[in-house]
Amino acid sequence: MTTLTFEDFKPGHFGTFGPRHVTREEILAFAAEFDPQPMHLDEMAANASMLKGLSGSGWHLGSIMMRMLFDGFIGRTASLGSPGVNEMRWLAPLRPGDDLTLDVGVAEARISRSRPETGIVTFKGTIRNAAGVVLCEMESPIIVSRRAEAGAE
Amino acid sequence: MGFFEDIEIGAQREFGSFTFTAEDIKKFATQFDPQRFHLDEDEGRKSLFGGLAASGWHVAAVCMKLLVADGKRLAAEAAARGETVAVWGPSPGFRELRWIKPVLAGDTIRFSSRVETKRTSEKRPEWGILQIRNTGINQRGEVAYSFLATAFVPRLSAGS
């Protein structure tokens, strides 16, 4: 399989990935280690919370998105890492048993000024559950190598 | 973890520190971010990071872990003083998350927060909305991580 480089990312829809099934056990395990708020751990407290039922941590959802991005294409992309996340919107709760689908679009792709052998590709990721409800939207730049011949220009 | 009315813009707090071991870094990366520079020391050294580097999502998750632990400490202290404990609501998201310096195996990150803005919620008058900048600084004093969190905070004068 060929490795994807900067030239492979053009503005527009890039791909749809998943579904990724999320179990109650993994929601509880992530919450216990990283986000032990009652709404992520305890059914009774969760029912009384604004989210009305047990929900996964937003940071868990972000981490799952990272894994879906890796499995979808970053694992076969000449990625050099990411400088951050411009925005994350948590729009609806992640629930035990959800089957997640990730839509990825390229918002912008430009050559790096400081490292001209690389480009910066800004991705928009949207996760939906099986009912089509958007759970989160994220925009994040990733640094990607250009093809060797392009870098030598 | 006070009520909306008790929180002042500019308020700062150190809320914990964490040392990232190679074992922690690889465990998180195996599950959520198995890029080669998060899994293997040699690959990390060859990468832009210059060593085995924690996934940015791992740094973010550890920051949340320390925030929650600090919130529980503050709630216990408030309860011990006989005060009503403010239970914060879920967050609608964040902006401007920056992975500024790599977090390498053995690095210790100290985290702190600063309240940047506050306003009342129009849709939910019993809640206020804060923007809080959380920052992680490594053992060399370099800012490695920061993000601008949004939080729902209960109002004392709920609905009034």
What are the extents of the domains in chain A? Answer: 6-151
pLDDT value, residue A1? 65
pLDDT of A153 reads 45
User: In this predicted structure, what is the pLDDT of residue B89?
Assistant: 85
* Domain that residue B39 falls in: 4-154
Compute the nearest-CA separation of A111 from chain B (Å). 17
Query: What's the one-letter identity of residue B48?
Result: L
Residue B12: pLDDT band with limits 50, 70, 90: very high
pLDDT higher at B86 or B146: B146
The count of structural domains within chain B is: 1
Dihedral of CA atoms A112, A86, A39, B86 in degrees, nearest 10, equals 130
- Closest-CA distance, B142 to chain A, in angstroms, reads 16
A16: left (phi over 0), alpha (psi -120 to 50) or beta: beta
Best of B1, B64, B66, B88 to disrupt the A interface by mutation (most A CBs within 10 Å)? B64
Residue A50 has a pLDDT of 79
As a whole number, the mean pLDDT across chain A is: 94
Residue with tokens 């008790």: B6
Report the distance separating Cα A151 and Cα B140, nearest Å.
Answer: 34
Rg of chain A over Cα atoms, rounded to whole angstroms, equals 18
Does residue B140 form part of some domain? yes
Establish if B30 touches chain A: CB-CB under 8 angstroms. Answer: no
pLDDT digit string (tens) for A89-102?
Answer: 999 999 999 999 99
Quick check: A48 pLDDT over 90? no
The SS3 call for residue A98 is coil
Residue B34 lies in a domain: yes
Average pLDDT over residues A54-76: 97
Contact A34 B34 (CB under 8 A): no
In a domain, B159, yes or no: no
Residue B160 resides in a domain: no
Give the model's pLDDT for residue A150: 52
Query: How far is it, in rounded angstroms, from Cα A114 to Cα A116?
Result: 6
Provide the pLDDT for residue B117: 97
Q: What is the pLDDT of residue B158?
A: 54
CB pairs under 8 A between A and B: 100
Give the number of C-alpha atoms closer than 13 A to the C-alpha of residue A108, restricted to the C-beta side.
10
Compute the nearest-CA separation of B74 from chain A (Å). Answer: 14
pLDDT for the residue B159: 45
Query: For A133, phi and psi rounded to 5 degrees?
Result: -75, 130
Contacts of B122 (CB under 8 A, 6+ apart): none
Report which of residues B85 and B158 the model is more confident about: B85
Could you say which DSSP state residue A67 is in?
Answer: H
Which residue does chain B place closest to A48, by CA atoms?
Answer: B89
Assess whether pLDDT exceeds 50 at residue A151.
Answer: no
Q: How many CB atoms lie within 10 A of CB B123?
A: 5
Confidence (pLDDT) at A152: 46
The answer on pLDDT for B31 being more than 80 is yes
- Which chain B residues contact residue A143 at CB under 8 A? 48
Taking only the tens place, the pLDDT of each residue in A127-149 is 999 999 999 999 999 999 999 76
- The pLDDT score that the predictor gives to residue B16 is 97
Give which of B129, B94, B134 is closest to B113, Cα–Cα: B134
Q: What are the tens digits of pLDDT across the range B34-62?
A: 999 999 999 999 999 999 999 999 999 99
CA distance A47 to chain B (A): 13
CATH of the domain at B148: 3.10.129.10
CB A109 within 8 A of CB A122: yes
- Asked casually if ipTM beats, i.e. exceeds, 0.85, the reply is yes
Range in A42-51, A118-127, B67-76 the model is least confident about? A42-51
Class of domain A6-151: alpha beta
For residue B11, give both structure tokens: 């308020």
Q: Does B68 touch chain A (CB under 8 A)?
A: yes
CB contact under 8 A, A39 and B55: no
Task: Indicate whether B160 pLDDT > 50.
Answer: no
Q: Which of B22, B53, B96, B24 is nearest to A83 (CA)?
A: B96
